[in-house]
Chains A and B, each alone.
Chain A
């Protein structure tokens, strides 16, 4: 019996080919979008959950405000974990990760390779995180200095085998060190907030800074079962009083935390659950750029919207078509078909269509996933569709959507009195207004997505073109210049000889994220207390730094060889000048904390540099002082674009001659600049793709609807043409209703999109204003797309010879 139903259903699909194709394609596209986004969202939510003890692992974050500079980072001090474990029984264990240098040179054969995923870790790392060993015993692997644990792929890379325990690795980060491989672990899953290939022993870290006041370690606590971490955080005040304040007292006049706080300062620690790091923690100095819970919400909303749009389409079209089938129902009923059978027939037909769509959707997912992965920077597989969350959807959705979509025709039509249906007295007014609502919902979503895309792209464009206080174009940066040792300056001189090299500078401090940073407490007066003190970036630069990066002086002068005393001079930025509050800061002094009170070092302010954005535009420009001091992390050259190939060749040969065996790494400043916004660019792309798809689906639906409506109104169109209506008039008549619906959608979408995008823009300190034209553009776009879609059918209907439509059969 069911076979019979299926057969008839199949025949009906074939009979209305256009309709079936539009219907199934639309739904399939919608479903595949939904599945892809669902995969993405699930992946984002899965971060760090592979750790068995994930629910008990917390990272310590620090928030510091000192003299108006706000610092918020995932770092804590050398000793913090250790004393917390000693003082509080709730702390079962702790571990620290240290990757202050960012990269190490590791020797393979005779060549050094720059490795970025390197860190030093405490031996307890493997007790806390679930990083299973392939070889060796991770429990003891990092106990001794000069030991290293590497991942499987690293073992293969350096030794051609994953059995690397006992082998030796040589590293170079200023000094050469030999490490023995004590364990090989499985590669760290990609859904982890860190992604290291090497864990060197923490015992090799020679840490000379303050044990409680200097923050350079990522510290993780493993709390005992049943510990309330929020309650535990309250202990941090006691910790500060007991350990931090005494240390601060040794080099400042600050006497107590209360006094420190009263002056508007702050030092606060907090815990963040491991599983929240990826989505909720976007601090400076994270190991990897995190996700963003906002995007998870936005994408979930988009996924659900697209699914709704697609389902609405499906229901809309199925319903629309069913009214054309009223006659068929009438005839069937006259012939004695019972209502129950009709209901079954309609439901089976619609479920069959959704099942077909689902199969196609999974196919689309399979084909598109590699592309989607590269856009979203993920490595998801179709296999993930079998996850316990998605699988039930895959199976359940066809039935839910199918039954919902089929129920209208099934119950409504089957209840008709056959005589009325056959007399053509059937009116579908009510479902008409329902359809209008559905079209409005679809276009509201589409317009919101278009507006979102426009705003994101405008903001990205703004980032590219905003005056950031320096010139990021055509600056060549050579990495790891410190490996040249004494050859760093000669290297710079040699490159400067080239034609097309305008100027060059040696400094580890660059005006983009992921270069060196260091901050210190400075003070307006020799007495360093909570009122005068403020935290400021102090960068080491040379004479040519400002010129190479095109930074402008607001006041005073640059470092110059004509002044012998410039080693005691400082150039501050406008923010620092503002904090100091002098009418004319030139000639004034600032002081840096020394080893003890009374040992402060004074600097002469010789210039004020116009603020430049040295972090991403999401952050304000904090106080910065530039000091004349050697620093050879990078060599940067302002070059003429026309000469770049020759310059690069020369850089390579010079490097080879001066640093045989060491890898040369270079990049361009604007690339590093753009890297700060890859997240945003990715979101822009993804939103763009999904808005295009949402519109495509909505248009498919509109196309189906307009086909149906044009069909229904053939007679009316014929009459109107006989009475003198022009083709243009008819097209207008048929399109007008849709245009009104799109207009209504626009009115609804505008405030919602405005609200949402304003919220998104608050991520950026420096941002565009949302302007009226962005809405107008989205509206015009949606309107023209809708017009193009509907007018196709409208024109076809309008061109039809009225004689044909009016012929009485």
Chain B
């Protein structure tokens, strides 16, 4: 296995609306090693989410190279990206993004359905991961019936149920109070210790301290990198 899971070179992403042209990523260069826990920080609008979306193969860059596990994926089409994504990457969002009409169990089960795992195996894996995030007792509840912290733990469970190599978290604690936030950060740390690579966007210096390295961005570029360990 390559040492670098992610290698981004000279990446550009420009949003064009009717009048405005926004340079969201400006010749950005980033590397993330296998097993690393990286925090991305920077002021609002500097391109953090854009970066995460591209890392997550949800969006394609306008220019530059993106090597994921030694494969150049920048030019991948939608289908290949989706395929790569569902086997390798898990997402955690600031606003949880759970599906209201589905129970906790069903929400967590979704990624397994989409990767074609059979029923009994799904049940085993969903229950295991719900146990891990300590939400097993709420498995038949609907998202609205849970607190924010609980919802985010479900979201984390959903992100990891497929055993992804990479977890992308966009301000996972942004909507949580500090105690719930710490629980989620604890969870992410544990996952990282078990070998999952994590890239997390955050505004909180406190949360950033859980990571190995902080990448600071401004206007679509990296400005500094702090190595914490």
Say if the beta carbon of B47 comes within 8 Å of chain A: no
Among A69-77, A183-191, A291-299, A715-723, the one that faces the other chain is: A715-723
Q: Once bound together, how far apart are the Cα atoms of A807 and B49, in whole Å?
A: 9
Could you tell me which residues of chain B, from 98 to 137, have a CB within 8 Å of some CB in chain A?
Answer: 98-101, 110-111, 114-115
Asked if A803 is at the interface of the complex by the 8 Å CB criterion, the answer is: yes
Q: Is the CB of A723 within 8 A of B58?
A: no
A719 and B97 in contact (CB under 8 A), knowing A724-B86, A802-B58, A803-B53? yes
Decide yes or no: A722 and B58 within 8 Å by CB, A716-B99, A803-B53 being known contacts. yes
Does A579 have its Cβ within 8 Å of any Cβ on chain B? Answer: no
Assuming A716-B101, A801-B58, A803-B59, is B95 touching A723 (CB within 8 A)? no
- CA of A718 to CA of B86, assembled, Å: 14
Q: How far is the CA of A726 from the CA of B114 in the complex (A)?
A: 8
Residues of B within 8 A of A716 (CB): 99-101
A723 contacts which of B49, B86, B94 (Cβ < 8 Å)? B86
Residue of A nearest to B111 (CB): A723
Q: Give per-residue flags for B135-168: 1 if the beta carbon is below 8 A from chain A beta carbons, else 0.
A: 0000000000000000000000010000000000
Question: With A716-B99, A801-B59, A803-B53 as given contacts, are A726 and B82 in contact (CB-CB < 8 Å)?
Answer: yes
What is the bound-complex CA distance between A726 and B116, given in angstroms? 12
Interface residues of A in 771-809 (CB under 8 A from B): 801-803, 806-808
Bound-state CA distance A719–B91 (Å) is 10
Q: How large is the interface on A (under 10, 10 to 19, 20 to 34, 35 or more residues)?
A: 10 to 19
Give the distance in Å from the alpha carbon of A719 to the alpha carbon of B158 in the complex. 11
B37 within 8 A of A: no
CB of A729 within 8 A of CB of B114, answer: yes
Q: Of A725, A801, A806, A807, which contacts B114 at CB under 8 A? A: A725
Does B93 lie at the interface of the complex (its beta carbon under 8 Å from any beta carbon of A)?
A: yes
Which of A719, A722, A803 counts the most B-chain CB atoms under 10 A from its CB?
A722
Residues of chain A within 8 A of B115, CB atoms compared: 724
A residues in contact with B91, CB < 8 Å: 722-723
Residues of A within 8 Å of B7, CB to CB, are none
- B residues in contact with A725, CB < 8 Å: 110, 114
**CB-based nearest A residue for B161:** A723
Q: Does B85 touch A at the CB level, under 8 Å?
A: yes
Residue numbers in A under 8 Å from B56 (CB-CB): 722
A429: nearest chain-B partner, CB-CB: B101
Q: Which of A718, A720, A722, A808 contacts B94 (CB 8 A)?
A: A808
Contact of B111 with A724 in the complex, beta carbons under 8 Å: yes
Contact (Cβ within 8 A) B53 A724: no
Chain A: minimal CB distance from B127 (Å)? 19
The distance from the CB of B39 to the nearest CB of chain A, in whole angstroms, is: 19
Interface majority SS (helix, strand, loop, mixed), chain B: loop
Q: How far is the CB of B78 from chain A (nearest CB, A)?
A: 8
Give every chain B residue within 8 A of A718 (Cβ-Cβ). 97
Contacts of A803 in B (CB 8 A): 53, 58-59
In the complex, the chain A residue whose C-beta lies closest to that of B53 is A803
Number of A-B contacts (CB under 8 A): 45
A719 and B99 form a contact (CB under 8 A): yes
- Contact yes or no, B59 A806, CB < 8 A: no
Residues in A with CB closer than 8 Å to B94 are 808
Q: How far is A806 from B95 in the complex, measured between Cα atoms in Å?
A: 9
Q: When the two chains form their complex, are residues B97 and A724 in contact, meaning their CB atoms are under 8 A apart?
A: no
A327 shortest CB reach to chain B, Å: 17
A808 contact set on B, CB distance < 8 A: 94-95
Contact B82 A723 (CB under 8 A): no
- Max count, chain B CB within 10 A of own CB: residue among A718, A719, A725, A803: A719
Whole-angstrom distance between the Cβ of A246 and the nearest chain B Cβ: 87
Contact at B99–A720, with CB atoms within 8 Å? yes
Nearest-CB distance from B66 to chain A (Å)? 15
Contact residues of A between 699 and 753, Cβ < 8 Å to B: 715-716, 718-726, 729
Output the least CB separation between B95 and chain A (Å).
5
A721: which B residues are within 8 A, CB to CB? Answer: 82
A218 to B155, CA, bound (A): 87
| Chain A residues in 8 Å Cβ range of B93 | 806
Q: How far is the CB of B185 from chain A (nearest CB, A)?
A: 20
In the assembled complex, the Cα of A724 lies from the Cα of B101 at a distance in Å of 18
Q: Which residues of B contact A806 (CB under 8 A)?
A: 93, 97
Give the CA-CA distance A665 to B100 in the complex, in Å: 77
Residue with the highest number of chain B CB atoms closer than 10 Å, among A723, A724, A725: A723
Task: State in angstroms the CA–CA spacing of A803 and B93 once bound together.
Answer: 12
Chain B residues in 8 Å Cβ range of A807: 49
A residues in contact with B158, CB < 8 Å: 723
Bound-state CA distance A297–B141 (Å) is 52
- Shortest Cβ gap from B106 to chain A (Å): 12
Report the nearest A residue to B52, measured CB to CB: A803
- Which chain A residues border B100 with CB–CB below 8 Å? 716
- Which residues of chain A are near B95, meaning CB under 8 Å? 808
Q: How far is the CA of A725 from the CA of B109 in the complex (A)?
A: 12
Are B110 and A720 touching (Cβ within 8 A)? Answer: yes
A420 to chain B, nearest CB (A): 12
A807 nearest CB neighbor, chain B only? B49
Within 8 Å CB of A723, what residues of B? Answer: 86, 91, 110-111, 114, 158
Shortest CB distance A730–B (Å): 11
| Nearest B residue to A716, CB-CB | B99
Give the distance in Å from the alpha carbon of A391 to the alpha carbon of B220 in the complex. 68
Instruction: Tell me the minimal C-beta distance from A685 to chain B in angstroms.
Output: 46
B-contacting residues, A398-457, CB 8 Å: none
B82 close to A715 (CB less than 8 A): no
Chain A's closest residue to B168 (CB) is: A722
Chain B residue nearest to A718 in the complex (CB): B97
Q: Which residues from B are CB-within-8-Å of A724?
A: 82, 85-86, 111, 114-115
Would you give the shortest CB distance from A466 to chain B, in whole angstroms? 55
Q: Which residues of B, 60-94, contact A by the 8 Å Cβ criterion?
A: 82, 85-86, 91, 93-94
Task: Please name the residue on chain B nearest to A720 by beta carbon.
Answer: B110
Q: How far is the CB of A422 from chain B (nearest CB, A)?
A: 16
CA distance A776 to B58 in the complex (A): 43
Give, as a whole number of angstroms, the nearest-CB distance from A321 to chain B. 21
Q: Which residues of B contact A720 (CB under 8 A)?
A: 99, 110, 114
Q: Shortest Cβ distance from B52 into chain A, in angstroms?
A: 10
Contacting B at CB under 8 A, from A665-724, are 715-716, 718-724
- Chain B residues in the interface with A (C-beta under 8 A): 49, 53, 56, 58-59, 82, 85-86, 91, 93-95, 97-101, 110-111, 114-115, 158
Q: What are 21 A-B residue pairs whose CB atoms fall within 8 Å in the complex?
A: A716-B99, A716-B100, A716-B101, A718-B97, A719-B97, A719-B98, A719-B99, A720-B114, A721-B82, A722-B56, A722-B58, A723-B86, A723-B91, A724-B82, A724-B86, A724-B114, A725-B110, A726-B82, A801-B58, A803-B59, A806-B97
Given A719-B97, A803-B59, 16 further pairs, Cβ under 8 A? A715-B97, A716-B101, A718-B97, A719-B98, A720-B110, A722-B56, A723-B86, A723-B111, A724-B86, A724-B111, A725-B114, A726-B82, A801-B59, A803-B58, A806-B93, A808-B95
Query: What 8 A-B pairs have minimum CB-CB distances, sorted nearest first?
Result: A724-B86, A724-B114, A723-B111, A719-B97, A803-B53, A803-B59, A803-B58, A723-B110
